[in-house]
Structure 1
Amino acid sequence: MNVTKYKDSLPIPPVLKPINEGEGFTYYKVEMKECKVSVHSELPKTPMWGYEGIFPGPTIEVESGERVYIKWENQLPPVHLLPIDFTVHGAHHNVPPVRTVVHVHGAVVEPESDGYPDAWFTNGYQQVGEKFVKQVYQYDNCMNACTLWDHDHAIGITRLNIYAGLAGFFLVKSEKERSLNLPTGEYDIPLLIQDRTFNQDGSLYYPKQPKEPVEELETSIVPEFFGETILVNGKVWPYLEVEPRKYRFRVLNGSNSRFYRLKLDRDQYMFQISTDRGLLPQPIGIREITLAPAERVDIIIDFSNLGGKRITFINDAPAPFPNGDAENEISDVLQFRILPEVVYIDTSSIPAQLEQLPFLSEKNAVKRRDLTLNHLKDKYGRELMLLDNKGWDAPISENPKLGTTEIWYLINLTPDTHPIHIHLIDFQILDRREFNVDKYNKEKVIEYLGPSMAPEPQERGRKDTVRANPNEVTRIIMQFGPYSGLYVWHCHMLEHEDYEMMRPYIVIR
């Protein structure tokens, strides 16, 4: 798409106001609506779907420990914006084409409020899915301060609903975090990075496959999807005017399949202060950060000595990751334009200590699970991704006991890096280790080919999504709770998740 880069300013999603703030709880109502969005001033407006009718959706800000109720309402039209593949499990002709369910990614919630893929509902709840469909979700927010996000999770069409626009920030804040004197207010900015392709009329493009492979059906299942443009907060290649001072950026990779390896084009240091689920023990000085789909990172950039200059956030991650095609790569992301002077003196800080983490010990683990990531072909010759070589409807095989600690060995037999997300809990990465894939395929034996590799410093915090690299065993450790019941774990490359790299798991009492 041939549009002028860095012509439009970066929008900041508004903070949603609650309907009611009662004694001990806060209540919101969020409507999903079709809307028309200006993604670039040189393009016609784009029909999209948005929470509260905007894209991205409004930011929801809550306090750690605050009980929040949200009524998610589907007010979308009966026809989908994008091509539906009716060969995909959960998206056959016997269910409505437009259905939604909301997952707050990273939230610690009971199963009924987690956004289970089969708990979908249609406009006005005229039709509902098979599992515990609720009109009002409860979020107790029993977690530390962290950057989360809400997005659609309907089975078989998650990739389409999120691509259509159903995503937004969900921020958990706390007094403890405020006491650290980090940049705040207008200097604390969320950045939702996504890729999209647009038709000449401004409408969203999502690929259809030809009819031949699937008899007489057109399909929209592709191995991965990579858009031609980069959007930040819903705007194509925007710029942001900043003062010469410190800023906090909450960076979220909300793309379907694209990874980002972000750096500043002046090779300037950034200071990472968090991972997916909260603050690190100490800030880390970094020159680049890799984010898989759904991963988040909070960084501080100090523009103090750069008044009047321009700096660009650039990306050099291959697509697919890690061994992609050069034609899929996009380098430009976001431009910072530093004003000559500050408005107010910058009194924020980058403290030496942030938050003490309760690291989990391997000796406390009661179970090890060996779980494969598999790359197969379906009956039409299309790529089919599975977890532990099982489809969505296979009997549940992961059943950790409430309160226990487990170590999962993610054995990647595919050529892709997969961002594996586990609902309900956060985990810590223990290590990665190269292994003999051929021998495993033949004998189901793990033969290591190299030493154990500790996680990167940027990953040594609370995580809910981990990059499982090809030809490696990635070990993660987690404690299951505080709730029991039915949840899911899956690859967060949305094309993989829909077909069919997602499995239920159950926490038992």
Structure 2
Amino acid sequence: MRAVRQRLHRDLPPTPLWAYAGQFPGPTLDVRTGQRIFVRWVNEIPDGDFLIPQAFDAHLHGTHHGEPPTKTVVHLHGAVVAPDSDGRPDAWFSNGFAQRGAEWTREIYEYPNQQDACLLWYHDHAIGQTRLNVHAGLAGAYLIRDDHEDALGLPGGDHEVLLMIQDRSFAPDGSLTYPMAESAGSADRPGPWVPEFFGDTILVNGKAWPHLEVEPRKYRLRILNGSNARFYQLRLADGRSFLQIGTDQGLLPAPVEVRRLLLAPAERADVIVDFRGARGSIRLLNDAPTPYPNGETPDRRTTANVMEFRVGRRLARPDTARIPDKLRAVNPLLEREAKVRYMAFSEYKNAKGEPTAVLLNGRKWDAPVTIQCKVGDTEVWHLINPTEDAHPIHLHLVRFQVLDRQKFDGDDYLKAWNAEIPGEGPDPISAEPYLRGSRIPPPPQERGWKDTVRVDPGEVVRIIARFDGVPGKYPWHCHVLEHEDNEMMLQFELVP
């Protein structure tokens, strides 16, 4: 990890960034299933080189006891790893490992890659400042491939394209900008933390509103939402469809034709776009409100635009790629013997109605761990969202399946739960008495293995997971990074 300068748009001066291996986004790591690798993550960021000092909030957990603002730690999102290679928030380290967090144990991380082919990504996870470190540039892609995927004959080589989508804002000198709370410094909101960051510029692979030259053939697009808080609802301007073949943790059972792709932060979509019959340019557009789902419509001049595909007239060689009717079997996990847990979200505001914290189960990160999952057990988690925003919930270590979604009365639920004081619980209760309507099964494009799931306001989402892996403690959290940094993160413990 180094401090670098990189030009992100031809009309901008080079932007100061933090970057893996000196490039933003970081280099894409491409591995095979079962190919165990070891990575030594080294922090070479100068101690005084904090890019966004005005946004550093010394009142957040993990930032108020003299921890260096240039601390980092790397999490491989979606990977099945042991706790000491998971990039836990308190396992941070500074330049040259001079300072280390309480849970730091090793310099070299081990990634077994014992999982199906899929697109993962690595990014910073330092306690209390993940939002700022990722915003500074610390993110990169990680591809796992396997023989099963190879045999399908999907588009590959130059016709497989990774698209990491992020948003940023810039000062005239090219430097990154990041907002501060308007009432920062007041008694009930002492720090500059803001509940979400929404930039006015869309980046794809580290370039602002880029274009890609394509041939009139099938392309495989591996799309990752790497933004702090922005959701994307993607569509192609000429109305052509995406053929979705995969999600977070790999291939779907069968291809699904969709006109729009809705991606919460950290979600991925694996899609085929057939450019045959196209002429000229096709824009990739975004119409997701900010914040999602009840916020403002994207600006047609800026954030409604993502990138442009420029379609040529000739093929360099014949298009022999094929899209099979069946991709990979996804065997459903069974509920009948699963343990059930209720996981509820809560948002706290000051007298002015400004958010001051967002919690899971009414508790903070350093609360005693009360969620203990036995190795080999299957569990159903009810993710209960009575807040005003959608929250993408990510579980470390495990993959899961989405069972269903159902509306509920959030106000009545909150009154019954009575978790009024941040950090003091009590444990969430069932939302059963407050449910409205019927359970809605996931759409076909959400019926694969997931590691991040969108939970909309006034909604209960049920997920099911089998808890396998190395015993130890693992985080689960909201992947709106501003929420994660301000306590919307807890731990579960995997026990023998």
Question: TM over 0.5, yes or no?
Answer: yes
Following the alignment from structure 2 to structure 1, what is the Cα–Cα distance between the partners of residues 58 and 70?
Answer: 12
- Structure 2: tracts of 5 or more residues without a match: 418-429
Map of 2:60 onto structure 1: 88
Q: How does 1:240-319 map to 2 (within 5 A)?
A: 240-306=212-278, 308-319=279-290
Is the 2:408–2:459 Cα contact (8 Å) retained in structure 1?
yes
Q: Is residue 48 from structure 1 mapped to residue 48 from structure 2 by the alignment?
A: no
1:434 partner SS? strand
Give the match for residue 7 of structure 1: none
**CA drift at 1:472:** 1.0
Structure 1 residue 229 corresponds to structure 2 residue 234: no
Measured after TM superposition, the shift of residue 209 of structure 1 is 2.9
Contact 2:189 2:350 in 1 (8 A): no
Q: Which one of 72, 76, 90 corresponds to residue 100 of structure 1?
A: 72
Change beyond 3 A, Cα 1:463–1:212: closer
**How far off is 1:77 after superposition?**
1.4
Match of 2:169 in 1: 197
Aligned to 1:123: 95
Matched residue of 1:124: which SS? helix
Structure 1 partner of 2:472: 485
| Deviation of the 1:191 alpha carbon | 0.2
Question: Once the 2 structures are TM-superposed, how far is the Cα of residue 133 of structure 1 from its aligned partner?
Answer: 2.8
**What displacement does 1:508 show?**
0.6
What does residue 152 of structure 2 align with? 180
2:3 aligned residue: 34
Q: CA deviation at 1:267?
A: 1.0
What corresponds to 1:62 in structure 2? 31
Q: Take 2:131 and 2:123, find their aligned partners in 1: how far apart are those partners?
A: 10
1:364 pairs, out of 314, 337, 353, with 337
Alignment of 1:392-471 (within 5 A): 392-444=365-417, 446=431, 447-471=434-458
What SS does the aligned partner of 1:326 have? coil
How high is the TM-score relative to the length of structure 2? 0.93
Instruction: Say whether 1:472 aligns with 2:459.
Output: yes
How far has the Cα of 1:421 moved from its partner? 0.1
- What CA distance in whole angstroms lies between the structure 2 residues aligned with 1:326 and 1:33? 36
1:113 corresponds in structure 2 to: 85
| Partner Cα separation in structure 2 for residue 463 and residue 147 of structure 1 | 11
Partner of residue 322, structure 1: 293
Secondary structure of residue in 1 paired with 2:42: strand
Q: Counterparts of 1:212 and 1:142 in 2: how far apart (Å)?
A: 46
Instruction: Check whether the contact 1:109–1:140 (CA below 8 A) recurs between aligned residues.
Output: yes
Which AA in structure 2 matches 1:276? D
**How far apart are 1:92 and its partner, in Å?**
1.2
Corresponding residue number in structure 1 for 2:421? none
Q: Following TM superposition, by how much is the alpha carbon of 1:398 offset from its aligned partner in structure 2, in angstroms?
A: 1.0
**Separation of aligned partners in 2, 1:143 and 1:111:** 17
Residues 93 and 104 in structure 2, CA contact (< 8 A), matched pair in contact too: no
Q: Show the 5 A alignment for 1:141-156.
A: 141-156=113-128
| Change in CA separation of 1:242 and 1:65 when aligned onto 2, cut-off 3 Å | same
Aligned to 1:449, what secondary structure does the other structure show? strand
CA contact (8 A) 2:119 2:268 kept: yes
Q: In 1, Cα distance between the equivalents of 2:238 and 2:209?
A: 18
DSSP 3-state at the match of 1:350: coil
* Contact kept in structure 2, 1:146 and 1:279, CA below 8 Å: yes
SS class of match (2:158): helix
Equivalent positions of 1:15-26 (< 5 A) are: none
Partner of 1:27: none
CA contact (8 A) 2:6 2:15 kept: yes
Distance in 2 of aligned mates of 1:472 and 1:303: 37
Deviation at 1:216, TM superposition (A): 12
User: What is the identity percentage for the equivalent residue pairs of Structure 1 and Structure 2?
Assistant: 49
Q: Deviations over 1:413-433 (max 9, x none)?
A: 101110000000000000011
Residue 317 of structure 1: SS of its match in structure 2?
coil
Alignment check: 8 A CA contact 2:287 2:298 kept: no
* Structure 1 counterpart of 2:363, from 390, 394, 406: 390
Report the CA distance between 1:215 and its aligned residue: 5.5
Match of 2:309 in 1: 336
Measure the CA separation in 2 of the matches of 1:217 and 1:82: 19
How many angstroms does 1:219 deviate by? Answer: 3.5
Matches of 2:212 and 2:264, distance apart in 1: 24
d(CA) in 2 for partners of 1:199, 1:458 = 39
RMSD between superposed Cα atoms in Å: 1.6
Name the CA distance, whole Å, in 2 between partners of 1:217 and 1:415: 20
User: CA offsets, 1:453-474, max 9 Å, x none?
Assistant: 1112211100000001111111
Contact 1:318 1:328 in 2 (8 A): no
The CA deviation at 1:134 is: 1.2
* Shift of residue 270, structure 1, vs aligned partner: 1.1
Kept in 2: contact 1:226–1:328 (CA 8 A): no
